[in-house]
Amino acid sequence: MEPKGDIAVIGLAVMGQNLILNMNDNGFTVVAFNRTVSKVNDFLDGEAKGTNIIGAQSVEEMVANLKRPRKVMLMVKAGEVVDKFIEMVLPHLEEGDVIIDGGNSHFPDTIRRTKMLEEKGMLYIGTGVSGGEEGARKGPSIMPGGSPKAWPLVKDIFQAISAKTDSGEPCCDWVGENGAGHYVKMTHNGIEYGDMQLICEAYQLMKEGLGLSTDEMHEVFTEWNKGELDSYLIEITRDILGYKTEEGEVVVEQILDTAGQKGTGKWTGISSLDLGVPVTLIGEAVFSRCLSALKDERVAASKVLKGPGTSFEGDKKVFVKDIEKALLASKLVSYAQGYMLLREAAKEHGWNLNYGGIALMWRGGCIIRSTFLGKIKEAFENNPDLHNLLLDDWFKGVIDDCQASWRKVVQEAIRLGIPVPAFTTALAFYDGYRNPRLPANLLQAQRDYFGAHTYERLDKPRGEYFHTNWTGRGGNTSASTYTV
């Protein structure tokens, strides 16, 4: 009998199960497999009852049920587990078959795996899948990269199950070669970290600075979600602030203030340092999580270290509006930085990224989905060579409109002693980026003074290096001019 399976999915944790059910809803025949085989039976007797999903009891059975070229998708924990499953499946596949990794893998692993599989005549896809459990079930944002020849083989499945924009476009398209898909997903997560941190800073300002109650903040977020900030993260924050137990207790206020992290934000920060791109806001967002994790130290320090002892004295309603604007302006900077990173990574890895297309992929289904992403897409449509989003007319207009409020919020936070690292770094980046003369001339002089590291001059062509014998003792020998 001819095999019926369009695709196999290995890994029946909630993301895997939901993706399978989503594929089934869209008319594809999915073969489900899990290393602990009892989970396959549980799934078939439970969620998958009455569907066309085929359960496999072994890798052999899974493969035998697949149409050629076979497509096997791994929905397993990122890291070594992915390599283990590739090893397990590989002997059963043949040339032209595709392995797909749908976890949050680190992009260098995906680059390595693509190469390894292609050398064996197979195809590989490393794809970001964003949107959590609900997204996987109803339509995630899907960011596939890897072997270009694999894309036409999975395109129909992926675009069918993905989220759609309001105008019906799928939030899934080919990102680029080898690790490009996972790189874009990693950057998505970094931006997610930034958005979450900005929202948390707004919350702390309203709570500690203005003394607003959670009910009042619930109202504020309800309003914000109707404006430019309209997004999934603002929406869930609204709902979290409005969520109470049956006894009327506000759950968010019962949660320990210690953030966890699985690593994708950290990877974004590391990659930005490697590539020399100032992705400062995501960096601060990661460090803020680290600082939050030092709960015991902070509690001890709070008994010793004093703040300014000032309180807010202005109009609270006006200041809430200022915070909204500061949040929007900072968010714009964060996305501009994220796109700067993508541009540099594309150069480094030889990826031909479609920047507007990436915004479209993030427009629906994923955690950072928002109306604002439509503006990024428009910016790249208006100017495909746009070097920095901040230079786009819409971005520039919003920042002009928000700037006074943004500065006021940062000043007031500093005056009140409330930490707003993401708001602050966004503003510092903005002021640095728009400044034609930064104090790095002095820094170069210092480097040349103590280490003869040389400097370039304003009045000479770039690439010519000079050394000054600052002390009259060091001689005229300069250190080599390499840069890391």
- The set of catalytic residues is 185, 192
Binders of ligand 6PG: how many residues, by CB under 6 A?
A: 13
Give the span between the Cα atoms of 175 and 183, in whole angstroms. 9
Give the span between the Cα atoms of 225 and 340, in whole angstroms. 27
CA 480 to each of CA 26, 87, 461, 473, 477: distance values in angstroms, whole numbers, following the listed order: 61, 46, 18, 19, 9
Contact pick of 4, 84, 115, 262 for ligand 6PG (by CB under 6 A): 262
- Answer yes or no whether residue 264 interacts with ligand 6PG by CB under 6 A: yes
Pinpoint the alpha helices (H) of 90-131.
107-119
Residue with Cβ nearer ligand 6PG (329 or 422): 422
Compute the least distance from the CB of residue 334 to ligand 6PG, in Å: 15
Q: Pick from 423, 442, 426, 424: which is nearest to 434 by CA? A: 426
Q: Which residue is nearest to ligand 6PG (CB)?
A: 130
Compute the least distance from the CB of residue 74 to ligand 6PG, in Å: 15
SS3 244: strand
Hey, which residues between 360 and 399 contact ligand 6PG (CB under 6 A)?
A: 366-367
Q: Pick from 346, 334, 401: which is nearest to 175 by CA? A: 346
Give the span between the Cα atoms of 203 and 404, in whole angstroms. 20
Q: What angle do CA 342, 267, 425 make, to 5 degrees?
A: 70
Residue with Cβ nearer ligand 6PG (55 or 102): 102
SS3 123: strand
Compute the least distance from the CB of residue 449 to ligand 6PG, in Å: 42
Compute the least distance from the CB of residue 285 to ligand 6PG, in Å: 10
Hey, which residues between 64 and 123 contact ligand 6PG (CB under 6 A)?
A: 104
Compute the least distance from the CB of residue 228 to ligand 6PG, in Å: 22
Contact pick of 52, 159, 204, 261 for ligand 6PG (by CB under 6 A): 261
Q: Which stretch binds ligand 6PG (CB under 6 A): 55-63, 68-76, 124-132, 291-299?
A: 124-132
> In this structure, are residues 35 and 74 in contact, taking their beta carbons and an 8 Å threshold?
no
Residue 175-204 contact track with ligand 6PG, rule CB under 6 A, x = bound = --------------x--x------------
SS3 457: coil
- Answer yes or no whether residue 425 interacts with ligand 6PG by CB under 6 A: no
Which tokens go with 58? 């072994």
- Answer yes or no whether residue 130 interacts with ligand 6PG by CB under 6 A: yes
Compute the least distance from the CB of residue 322 to ligand 6PG, in Å: 28
Hey, which residues between 30 and 59 contact ligand 6PG (CB under 6 A)?
A: none
- Answer yes or no whether residue 237 interacts with ligand 6PG by CB under 6 A: no
Q: What is the largest CA-CA distance in the chain?
A: 89
Residue with Cβ nearer ligand 6PG (147 or 162): 162
- Backbone torsions φ then ψ of 482, nearest 5 degrees: -65, 150
Give the span between the Cα atoms of 335 and 78, in whole angstroms. 26
Residue with Cβ nearer ligand 6PG (124 or 267): 267
Number of other CB atoms surrounding residue 113 within 10 Å = 22
Number of other CB atoms surrounding residue 377 within 10 Å = 20
Residues that bind ligand 6PG (CB under 6 A): 104, 130-132, 189, 192, 260-262, 264-265, 366-367
